[in-house]
Amino acid sequence: MANLQTTYLGLKLKNPIIVSSSGLTSNVESIKKLASNGAAAVVLKSLFEEQILQETGMLSAHSDYPEAEDYLKAYVRSNSVDKYLELIKEAKKAVDIPVMASINCFSASSWIDFAAKIQEAGADALEINVFILATDSRKKSEDYEEVYFTLAEKLKKVISIPFSFKLGDHFTNPLRIIEQLWYRDVKGVVLFNRFFAPDIDIDKMKVTAAEVFSNPADIRDPLRWVAIANQVVPKIDISASTGVHDGEAVVKLLLAGAKSVQVCSTLYKHGHAHIKSLVDFLSAWMDKKGLSTIEDFKGKMNYGQIGDPEVYERSQFMKYYSDHD
């Protein structure tokens, strides 16, 4: 029988399957179901900086007094945080797997004071989800990147629990971002985040949200960059996310170098019990290959381990399609 135990951010996991931040991890009953079906850890639904600022703006619009506006801002932020801290405490009581908190933010300062409270509430780790849309043509790319580095440096001063950054795939040089985060003692990165994407309803002439869920083909970018990053920045823990829909995808990403994988869309489509099928597939595949532990094969097909690393590079695009008319 294969041993599926692994580690991520220094936390011991019974297997590599983590349920990512979503509505699935927003209440204790759902978290208990996820754990009972084999989830090794959960990332709680994010505490959103953007959402709280919007709520504050809506409330303060009804006030003509600056003092009242300040009070409303403090009230909304405090209550949102209090509910989140309670979720952490209740989840920790209900399950025996690591519970990671998540902060979704777009600045390097607004949430620092809440990180310590999240730690005090008992969170085992913290996942930082930053997204800044580059809409200012006057800014250089490093100006946007600096937000991540500044945030990492500030967090190290207020918390001792491990934290990771969930990154998007929009960086010109994601390897530099990952390496710079490692230099700042960030223990892990999640590759990649799935952001809100706009669409246009041509009948109603309005902007709408595009498809929320990922599909199996979306694994391609995470697979490429997990494999490359695991070779270039080998000491940082990588959790692979987006497009992980079946056991085969789990195996592929571990072979590429991921320490863990995060699942979400596939559970919405197939239910909480689908976690067990992912775990069973991984176990059966390891037995078939005669592998005893995850470490026996993790990263064995990363950028540096395979004979032809160019297969992970875009230069292969023309070669691949040259035979297709």
- Report d(CA 53, CA 105) in Å as an integer: 11
Tokens linked to 208: 């709408």
**What is residue 169's predicted lDDT score, i.e. its pLDDT?**
87
Residues linked to residue 11 through DSSP beta bridges, in sequence order: 8
Task: Summarize the confidence of residues 259-286 as an average pLDDT.
Answer: 98
The answer to whether 147 and 108 are in contact (CB under 8 A) is: yes
- Report d(CA 277, CA 289) in Å as an integer: 18
Tokens linked to 138: 């006057």
- Give the Å distances, CA to CA, from 79 to 52, 72, 258, 272: 10, 11, 36, 30
pLDDT: which is higher, 324 or 44: 44
- Report d(CA 200, CA 12) in Å as an integer: 44
Residues linked to residue 174 through DSSP beta bridges, in sequence order: none
Would you say residue 81 has pLDDT above 50? yes
**What is residue 190's predicted lDDT score, i.e. its pLDDT?**
98
**What is residue 51's predicted lDDT score, i.e. its pLDDT?**
53
pLDDT: which is higher, 105 or 27: 27
The domain spans of the chain are 6-321
Provide, rounded to the nearest whole percent, the portion of the chain with pLDDT above 70.
85
How much helix, strand and coil, in percent to the nearest 5, is found in the chain? 45, 15, 35
- Give the Å distances, CA to CA, from 127 to 82, 99, 121: 18, 11, 15
Would you say residue 273 has pLDDT above 60? yes
The answer to whether 126 and 101 are in contact (CB under 8 A) is: yes
* Amino acid (one-letter) located at 63: S
Q: pLDDT of 230-247, one tens digit each?
A: 999 999 999 999 999 999
Identify the CATH homologous superfamily for domain 6-321.
Aldolase class I (3.20.20.70)
**What is residue 109's predicted lDDT score, i.e. its pLDDT?**
65
Would you say residue 210 has pLDDT above 50? yes
pLDDT: which is higher, 201 or 313: 201
pLDDT: which is higher, 246 or 144: 246
- Give the Å distances, CA to CA, from 29 to 25, 26, 92, 136, 154: 9, 9, 12, 43, 34
User: What value does the mean pLDDT of the chain take?
Assistant: 87
**What is residue 73's predicted lDDT score, i.e. its pLDDT?**
54
C-alpha 69 chain-centroid distance: 34
Task: Summarize the confidence of residues 192-203 as an average pLDDT.
Answer: 84
Q: Between β-strands 198-201 and 125-130, what pairing exists: parallel, antiparallel or unpaired? A: unpaired
**What is residue 108's predicted lDDT score, i.e. its pLDDT?**
62
- Give the Å distances, CA to CA, from 140 to 120, 134, 143, 209, 250: 37, 9, 5, 28, 36
C-alpha 172 chain-centroid distance: 19
**What is residue 256's predicted lDDT score, i.e. its pLDDT?**
98
Q: How many CB atoms lie within 10 A of CB 156?
A: 13
- Report d(CA 229, CA 248) in Å as an integer: 21
- Report d(CA 22, CA 9) in Å as an integer: 20
Tokens linked to 176: 């530099």
**What is residue 130's predicted lDDT score, i.e. its pLDDT?**
83
Would you say residue 59 has pLDDT above 80? no
Instruction: Write the CB contacts of 96 (distance below 8 Å, at least 6 apart in sequence).
Output: 35
Would you say residue 324 has pLDDT above 70? no
Residues linked to residue 99 through DSSP beta bridges, in sequence order: 42
- Report d(CA 256, CA 294) in Å as an integer: 12
**What is residue 54's predicted lDDT score, i.e. its pLDDT?**
53
Question: Token match 């498809």: residue?
Answer: 211
Provide, rounded to the nearest whole percent, the portion of the chain with pLDDT above 90.
63
Would you say residue 153 has pLDDT above 60? yes
